[in-house]
């Protein structure tokens, strides 16, 4: 098979996603009062309604309707005031009702969109920058290949989840070859929202970015834990090819089992290459559902696609159509939190973050919350109140320093805080396989660390060490540097002595430097840093060395 890059030169990929999200933040199911709980003892959260026993009547969960309206408003959808539920009939053991309650042609949310900013390597997959690209939106001066594209959302509808089957005795938990299957109906009737996109995506990277952004929006709304591992966020990818310049759609295949961002990207990339090979051999693509196998890196056919008629969809007689009032919709609108795009704007405009940093932080709910909490620490009294007393540098105590009028105001510390978060904190978390929530690091600690580094009480190199200790022990950075004597030496006299010793030890190199080998500066700084046991202020060391060598 040819590479994705080569294929996309000749063909345009057309991709649409269907994203199922369980509303895990809700306490109870869609049409009954059974508890929603992942990992509970099998079949302990079931009742006549979610099992579909004769005579049981459904009663809709208002909180679930609020959640889907919230999702619709956050993705620019129009909220349909009048919509209803339908029965989608099929037999499969994971659904004892033999029909799924879902929505018909009109869903609660219709006609929305999400804008994607595609930058850096992700932008490289798109060789033809025409089509749905919005006109001349300057994204970043540093990455001229970045672009903005608007992805239409067809609809978001409400439905209920099915139960879980556990196949015993086969390979990989697949049904084929299994000896028997176990059924757990706990998940039956869990409210699910399904978002369907227009076929507006053009590369696997765009698909990945879309799903990541949608996940962050849902996490911000706090309607689901969006765990791809536990299956509360599931995505199917539809993809077809057409010759560049063509406007009609080709025959699509639908990919299942895209249970991670990487799988979504890699599965689509494989499928694009496979379809290109089929089409280039003169054959046609079959409309079918295919399963992505990450281990063998290929997709295999599961079944030829069913059509809506096969499900004998008909209006649910036990549920009245909805008439959402304006008051209800407006009340939900007031609950809309600040969304990632707005956050990014605020980080740039109010806190002066560089564009790339603002994207990184706003694109991650946890990171953004931590960043804001840290800024609150810095602007409020909390930070100062927590600083311990103690001699730190040239007679100044930390408390005095924090009250020093020359110290950068809280907003000026936004950049160093962002820097620490994006680089040092993220690196430390990755190295320790932890998330922010799992670590002991607090916004108060990060606020203090940013002050200590910015005020040059410790070097940024020492900052990394202090961060690691703070995150491990939960201790305050100021306490850590005091206990371990990690102060940065900014005493000019001491630095001068160190530098003079270093230069005196290497007369040959000093000679070479003066003869034009200025690259040796780094060598001298390194030696002086070593002599100061890593505590010398690197900026000061640099200055002193330069002034000595220039003599
Ligand atoms: P189906 O009837 O097979 O479920 P839909 O029309 O409901 O198909 O679309 C399902 C998803 O597939 C949507 O996200 C849509 O954008 C996408 N899609 C539809 N047609 C194509 C196509 N020809 N190529 C790629 N994606 C498509
Ligand atoms: Zn129930
Ligand atoms: Mg469909």
271-317 tens-digit pLDDT: 999 999 999 999 999 999 999 888 888 888 887 766 666 788 899 99
Tokens for 32, please give them.
């009954």
| Dihedral angle sign, alpha carbons of residues 525, 427, 142, 459 | negative
pLDDT (0 to 100) of residue 129: 53
Position 319 scores a pLDDT of 92
In order, the DSSP letters of 36-61 are P-TTPSTTSS--HHHHT-TT------
DSSP state of 77: P
Average pLDDT (526-534) is 81
Q: Which ligand is nearest to the CA of 163?
A: 2
Q: Among 116-125, 274-283, 407-416, 538-547, which is the least confidently predicted range?
A: 407-416
Cα of 65 from ligand 2 centre, angstroms = 18
Q: Which has the minimum average pLDDT: 65-69, 328-332, 411-415, 472-476?
A: 411-415
Sign of the CA dihedral with 58 first, then 62, 67, and 70 last? positive
The Cα 236–Cα 398 span in angstroms is: 55
Backbone angles phi, psi at 103, to 5 degrees: -105, 160
Please tell me the residue having the least CA distance from ligand 1 atom 13. 16
- pLDDT value at 137 more than 50: no
Spatial CA neighbour of 269 closest among 296, 292, 248: 292
Distance CA 191, CA 60 (A): 10
Cα–Cα distance between 105 and 464 in angstroms, integer?
55
| pLDDT band at residue 460 using 50, 70 and 90 as cut-offs | confident
- Asked if pLDDT for residue 116 goes beyond 70, the answer is yes
**Radius of gyration, CA atoms only, the chain:** 29
Distance 232 CA to ligand 1 centre (A): 22
Residue 366's nearest CA partner among 237, 468, 219 is 219
Lowest mean pLDDT among 95-109, 210-224, 382-396: 382-396
What angle do helix axes 460-473 and 443-454 make, rounded to 10 degrees?
160
149 pairs with which residues across the strands? 116, 133
CATH class of 492-549: mainly alpha
Q: How far is the centre of ligand 3, averaged over its atoms, from the C-alpha of 15 (Å)?
A: 14
Most confident of 415-419, 435-439, 495-499: 415-419
- Residue 490 three-state SS: coil
pLDDT of residue 175: 84
**Ligand 1 atom with the shortest distance to the CA of 198:** 16
How far is the C-alpha of 151 from the C-alpha of 214, rounded, in Å?
Answer: 11
Q: CA 538, CA 542: separation in Å to the nearest integer?
A: 6
Q: Which of 132, 238, 258 has most ligand 1 atoms within 8 Å of CB, for mutation?
A: 238
β-strand pairing of 288-293 with 253-256: parallel
87 DSSP 8-state letter: E
Summary mean pLDDT of the chain:
87
Q: Give the number of the ligand closest to the Cα of residue 19.
A: 1
pLDDT in tens, 79-95: 999 999 999 998 899 99
Summarize pLDDT for 4-17 with one digit per residue, the tens: 988 998 999 999 99
Ligand nearest to the Cα of 289, by number = 1
Select, from the ranges 77-86, 430-439, 448-457, the one with the highest average predicted confidence (pLDDT): 77-86
Helix and strand numbers, DSSP H then E, in the chain = 21, 18
Domain ranges of the chain: 4-328, 340-484, 492-549
pLDDT at 230 exceeding the cut of 50: yes
pLDDT band at 59 (very low <50, low <70, confident <90, very high): very high
Highest mean pLDDT among 96-100, 123-127, 538-542: 96-100
Q: How far is CA 139 from the centre of its chain?
A: 20
Q: Name the residue at shortest CA distance from atom 24 of ligand 1.
A: 240
Ligand 1: residues whose CB is within 6 Å?
Answer: 14-18, 196-199, 238-240, 249-250, 252, 305
Whether the predicted pLDDT of 106 surpasses 60: yes
Q: State what percent of residues in the chain have pLDDT above 70.
A: 90
Q: What is the pLDDT of residue 402?
A: 40
β-pair partners for 12? 242
Q: Which residue has its alpha carbon closest to ligand 1 atom 2?
A: 307
Of 106, 269, 291, the closest CA to residue 201 belongs to 269
pLDDT above 90 coverage of the chain, percent:
59
Q: Which of the pair, 298 or 252, is modelled with greater confidence?
A: 252
Give residue 152 CA to ligand 1 midpoint distance, Å: 13
Give residue 142's pLDDT: 38
Ligand 1: atom nearest CA of 287 is 3
d(CA 358, CA 379): 19
Q: Which atom of ligand 1 is nearest to the CA of 197?
A: 14
User: Looking at residues 452-471, what average pLDDT do you find?
Assistant: 88
Q: Answer whether residue 333 shows pLDDT above 50.
A: yes
Residue 221 has pLDDT above 80, yes or no: yes
Task: Looking at the CA of 238, name the nearest ligand.
Answer: 1
pLDDT at residue 128 in the model: 59
Q: Identify the band that residue 139 occupies on the pLDDT scale cut at 50, 70 and 90.
A: very low
Q: What was the pLDDT predicted at 383?
A: 39
Question: Could you report the per-residue pLDDT of 21-34, keeping only the tens digit for each?
Answer: 999 999 999 999 99
User: 357 in helix, strand or coil?
Assistant: helix
Per-residue pLDDT of 353-404, as tens digits, reads 998 899 999 999 999 999 999 999 988 744 333 333 333 333 333 333 343 3
Instruction: Kindly give the number of the ligand 1 atom that is closest to the alpha carbon of 17.
Output: 14
Nearest Cα to Cα of residue 52 among 90, 95, 87, 102: 95
- Is the confidence at residue 258, as pLDDT, over 90? no
Provide the pLDDT confidence category of residue 131 given band limits of 50, 70 and 90. very low
pLDDT range class, residue 519, cuts 50, 70, 90? confident
pLDDT of 140 reads 42
User: What are the distances in angstroms from CA 72 to CA 197, 221, 237, 336, 403?
Assistant: 13, 11, 21, 11, 47
Give the residue, by CA position, lying nearest to ligand 1 atom 25. 239
Angle subtended at Cα 472 by Cα 471 and Cα 478, rounded to the nearest 5 degrees = 60
């Amino acid at each position: 098979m040819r590479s994705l890059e080569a294929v996309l030169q000749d063909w345009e990929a057309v991709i649409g996603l269907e994203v199922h999200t369980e509303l895990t933040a809700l306490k109870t199911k869609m049409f009954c009062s059974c508890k929603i709980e992942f990992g509970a003892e099998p079949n302990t959260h079931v009742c006549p309604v979610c099992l579909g026993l004769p005579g049981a009547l459904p009663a809709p969960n208002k909180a679930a309707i609020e959640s889907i309206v919230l999702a619709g408003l956050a993705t620019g959808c129009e909220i349909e005031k009048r919509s209803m539920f339908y029965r989608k009939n099929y037999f499969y053991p994971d659904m004892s009702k033999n029909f799924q309650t879902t929505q018909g042609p009109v869903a609660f949310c219709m006609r929305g969109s999400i804008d994607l900013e595609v930058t850096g390597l992700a932008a490289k997959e798109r060789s033809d920058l025409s089509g749905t690209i919005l006109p001349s939106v300057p994204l970043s001066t540093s990455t001229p290949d970045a672009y903005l594209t608007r992805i239409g959302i067809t609809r978001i509808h409400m439905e209920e989840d099915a139960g879980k089957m556990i196949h015993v005795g086969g390979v990989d938990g697949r049904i084929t070859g299994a000896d028997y299957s176990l059924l757990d109906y706990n998940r039956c009737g869990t409210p699910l929202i399904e978002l369907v996109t227009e076929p507006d995506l053009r590369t696997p990277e765009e698909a990945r970015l879309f799903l990541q952004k949608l996940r962050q929006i849902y996490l911000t709304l706090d309607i689901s834990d969006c765990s791809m591992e536990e299956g509360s966020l599931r995505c199917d990818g539809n993809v077809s090819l057409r010759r560049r310049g063509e406007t009609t759609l080709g025959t699509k295949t639908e990919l299942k089992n895209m249970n991670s961002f990487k799988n979504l990207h890699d599965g689509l990339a494989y499928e694009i290459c496979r379809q290109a090979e089929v089409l280039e051999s003169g054959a046609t693509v079959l409309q079918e559902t295919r399963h992505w196998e990450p281990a063998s890196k290929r997709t295999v056919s599961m079944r030829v696609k069913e059509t809506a008629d096969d499900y004998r969809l008909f209006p649910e007689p036990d549920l009245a159509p909805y008439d959402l009032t304006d008051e209800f919709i407006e009340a939900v609108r007031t609950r809309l939190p600040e969304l990632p795009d707005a956050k990014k704007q605020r980080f740039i405009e109010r806190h002066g973050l560089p564009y790339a940093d603002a994207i990184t932080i706003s694109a991650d709910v946890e990171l953004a919350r931590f960043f804001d909490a840290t800024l609150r620490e810095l602007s409020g009294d909390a930070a100062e109140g927590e600083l311990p007393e103690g001699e730190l540098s040239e007679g100044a105590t930390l408390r005095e320093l924090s009250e020093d009028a020359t110290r950068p105001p809280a907003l000026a510390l936004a950049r160093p805080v962002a820097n620490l978060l994006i680089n040092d904190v993220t690196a430390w978390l990755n190295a320790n396989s932890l998330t922010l929530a799992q670590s002991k690091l607090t916004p108060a600690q990060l606020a203090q660390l940013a002050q200590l580094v910015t005020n040059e009480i410790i070097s940024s190199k020492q900052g990394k060490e202090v961060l690691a200790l703070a995150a491990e022990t939960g201790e305050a950075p100021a306490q850590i540097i005091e206990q371990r004597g990690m102060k940065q030496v900014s005493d000019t006299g001491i630095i001068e002595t160190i530098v003079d010793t270093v230069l005196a030890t290497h007369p040959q190199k000093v000679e070479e430097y003066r003869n034009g080998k200025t690259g040796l500066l780094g060598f001298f700084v390194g030696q002086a840093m070593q002599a100061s046991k890593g505590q010398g202020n690197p900026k000061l060391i640099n200055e002193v060395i330069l002034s000595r060598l220039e003599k």
